């Protein structure tokens, strides 16, 4: 006697519904970035702010590698894109907000946690906007400050203050301004150069190699100060570019 159709096991799905594997290599970098962000939170809770700041910078490096590795090895996937976005929210949204709050904003009461929340929600909105506009956005420019750069700005402040032996309570207003600045700049329409039009496969003048080597030497001489200065400059570059474009527009007879 044939088994009723309602009790027969469903056949395995075929075509687009079939089970798909996950590319290991790029997602290893994403997992490493996620771990670094989680580690930063744990270290901040333990009062080890230098380790927390360094962990955020490590997360930024790993996040920059996962997409490039996926493109080079042709292992891009929708899963990887979603996983990367969730990892970014932890490493560059939640982690920097908690690190700066624990380091400098905790004693400010409501003003402190509100500033941390402005940063956190700014990162969430920035990532959501990036995901929805990725197909139509000019690859040469970011719209708003990228969340890894905003996180590096926060981590750089914590790291350089720790290196200079300055407590967070002494610079809580500076930390508040930097945190709110980073959060609002992420959701702005300001242009920030992405560097995605740089082709590493093309030959470059010898002076470029020399400048890159000098850059590494400069960073190694005083990592906290140099990295913080670099990301402060990058964070302000969007405002400078906006002003330059506005003046050029007026000079050409625009309104």
For the segment 98-115, what is each residue's pLDDT rounded down to a tens digit? 999 999 999 999 999 999
Query: Whole-model pTM?
Result: 0.84
Q: Where are the domains of the chain?
A: 23-251
Bridge partners of 108, per DSSP, are none
The three-state secondary structure class of 199 is coil
Burial environment of residue 16 by CB neighbours within 10 A (0 to 12, 13 to 18, 19 or more): exposed
Domain 23-251 CATH assignment equals 3.30.70.100: no
CB neighbourhood size of 232 (10 A): 16
For the segment 180-233, what is each residue's pLDDT rounded down to a tens digit? 999 999 999 999 988 776 666 677 677 878 888 888 888 888 999 999 999 999
For the segment 73-95, what is each residue's pLDDT rounded down to a tens digit? 777 788 888 899 999 999 999 99
In the chain, % of residues over pLDDT 70: 86
């Amino acid at each position: 006697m044939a088994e009723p159709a309602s009790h027969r096991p469903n056949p395995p799905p075929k075509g687009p519904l079939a089970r798909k594997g996950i590319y290991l290599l790029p997602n290893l970098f994403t997992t490493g970035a996620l771990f670094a962000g989680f580690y930063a939170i744990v270290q901040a809770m333990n009062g080890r702010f230098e380790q927390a700041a360094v962990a955020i910078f490590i997360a930024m490096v790993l996040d920059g590698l996962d997409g490039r590795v996926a493109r080079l090895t042709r292992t891009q996937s929708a899963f990887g894109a979603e996983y990367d976005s969730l990892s970014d929210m932890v490493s560059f949204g939640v982690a920097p907000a908690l690190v700066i709050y624990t380091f400098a904003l905790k004693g400010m009461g409501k003003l402190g946690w509100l500033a941390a929340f402005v940063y956190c929600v700014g990162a969430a909105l920035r990532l959501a906007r990036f995901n929805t506009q990725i197909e139509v956005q000019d690859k040469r420019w970011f719209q708003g400050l990228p969340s890894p750069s905003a996180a590096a700005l926060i981590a750089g402040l914590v790291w350089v203050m720790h290196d200079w032996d300055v407590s967070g309570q002494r610079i809580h207003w500076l930390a508040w301004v930097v945190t709110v600045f980073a959060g609002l700049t992420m959701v702005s329409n300001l242009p920030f150069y992405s560097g995605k039009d740089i082709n590493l496969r093309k030959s470059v003048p010898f002076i470029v190699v020399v400048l890159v080597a000098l850059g590494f030497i400069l960073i190694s001489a005083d990592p906290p100060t140099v990295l913080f200065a670099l990301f402060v400059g990058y964070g302000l570059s969007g405002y400078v570019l906006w002003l330059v474009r506005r003046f050029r527009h007026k000079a050409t007879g625009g309104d």
